């Protein structure tokens, strides 16, 4: 049985503790107990360390749990309420399809006899899952969130059909500016949709869903020409290539004067995207908590692999710079080369 306990937070220092397993070292000895759990997550939830469906969905869950916070309406933020009160929160319209990963994580915790507060588990699983995606930053993980006391209120999670005004206002209430919103939405680079169009589950938001790269910022800026499935679905607009789905909210944020230049800035800036995403995730993961009351156990998170040498920002095959819908008023879109060959359909993300 893994019964995980958190000590009081201590100031950061350079001292290293050797864990009893004789393999790992860590900045705080309380973090040693997390290494076996990370190994089990990799082997049993993430299919041996894949950037697959469970990794994508676990990253999504970190946000859907954390954004359930409002100074006026309530909610505990990143407290695990979406697991503890799953009967309530998975029924929210904005949480459509999230019951699968909630059930998977609850089953994992039960089958492995893991005693860890669900707010910690959700953020740990999200950070470990995204570490399997080449090109991702190594995310921070802080340990010691208390148990949730109540379910999050409904209508705190932005939806893909919401207006830009509504999305920015909701994020602002939770403490995020427009630039940070764009950085967080970069998570769509390793995401896929199951419920926007139920006829085509697993449809990715860009052409490289197994890589944490900047293609989503390029492809969302391209002219839409088709719907990958039935079309006419709430929250969906035309995408630039078969097999790829585009959210209305992504499309509008990429073209709004308040966010267009931030969106464009990441198109060919992998390091800038990594840094901005990591910083925004640091804030999101502790919504509702006092950072100083938590223990920094970031060194239990695996270091992601870099992008393959063959990867890099590009236009889709059989497209040109003329297919970019320029929206930033202060800088031109970066000049990119299209991949060779004829246009092809993007493959869906396979289920586990």
Q: Which residues are catalytic?
A: 64
Sign, CA torsion 14/15/18/19: negative
Question: For residue 199, how many other CB atoms are within 10 A of its CB?
Answer: 9
Helices (H) and strands (E) in the chain, counts: 12, 10
Alpha helical stretches, state H, 174-269: 178-185, 215-219, 248-255, 260-265
Q: Are the C-beta atoms of residues 186 and 277 closer than 8 Å to each other?
A: yes
Q: Are the C-beta atoms of residues 130 and 304 closer than 8 Å to each other?
A: yes
User: By three-state DSSP, how is residue 105 classified?
Assistant: helix
Q: Which residue has the tokens 């919401």?
A: 162
Q: Are the C-beta atoms of residues 349 and 52 closer than 8 Å to each other?
A: yes
Q: What angle do CA 288, 115, 149 make, to 5 degrees?
A: 35
CA distance 140 to 285: 9
CA distance 141 to 145: 11
Q: Which residue has the tokens 């869906």?
A: 348
Rounding to the nearest 10 degrees, give the CA dihedral for residues 189, 191, 195, 197.
Answer: 40
Rounding to the nearest 10 degrees, give the CA dihedral for residues 320, 335, 224, 208.
Answer: 100
Cα within 13 Å of Cα(264), Cβ side? 22
CA distance 15 to 22: 17
CA distance 316 to 341: 9
């Amino acid at each position: 049985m893994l019964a995980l306990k958190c000590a009081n937070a201590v100031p950061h220092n350079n001292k290293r503790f050797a864990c009893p397993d004789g393999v790992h070292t860590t900045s705080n000895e309380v973090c040693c107990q997390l290494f076996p759990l990370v190994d089990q997550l990799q082997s049993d939830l993430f299919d041996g360390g894949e950037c697959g469906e469970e990794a994508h969905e676990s990253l999504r869950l970190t946000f859907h749990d954390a954004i359930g916070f409002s100074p006026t309406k309530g909610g505990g933020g990143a407290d695990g309420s979406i697991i503890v009160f799953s009967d309530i929160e998975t029924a929210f319209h904005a949480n459509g399809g999230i019951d699968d990963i909630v059930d998977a994580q609850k089953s994992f915790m039960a089958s492995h006899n893991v005693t860890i507060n669900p707010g910690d588990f959700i953020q740990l699983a999200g950070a470990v899952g995204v570490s399997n995606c080449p090109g991702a930053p190594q995310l921070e993980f802080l340990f010691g969130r208390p148990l949730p006391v109540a379910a999050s209120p409904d209508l705190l999670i932005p939806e893909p059909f919401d207006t830009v005004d509504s999305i920015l206002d909701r994020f602002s209430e939770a403490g995020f500016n427009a630039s940070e919103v764009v950085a967080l939405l970069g998570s769509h680079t390793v995401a896929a949709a199951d419920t926007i169009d139920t006829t085509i589950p697993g449809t990715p938001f860009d052409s490289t869903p197994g890589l944490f790269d900047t293609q989503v910022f390029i492809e969302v800026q391209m002219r839409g020409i088709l719907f990958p499935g039935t079309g006419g679905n709430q929250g969906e607009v035309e995408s630039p290539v078969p097999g790829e789905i585009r959210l209305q909210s992504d499309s509008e944020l990429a073209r709004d004067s308040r966010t267009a230049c931030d969106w464009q800035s990441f198109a060919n800036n992998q390091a800038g995207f990594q840094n901005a995403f990591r910083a925004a995730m640091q804030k999101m993961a502790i919504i509702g908590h006092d950072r100083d009351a938590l223990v920094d156990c970031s060194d239990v998170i695996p270091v992601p692999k870099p992008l393959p040498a063959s990867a890099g920002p590009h236009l889709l095959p059989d497209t040109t710079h003329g297919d970019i819908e320029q929206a930033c008023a202060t800088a031109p879109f970066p000049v990119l080369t299209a991949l060779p060959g004829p246009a092809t359909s993007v493959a869906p993300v396979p289920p586990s």
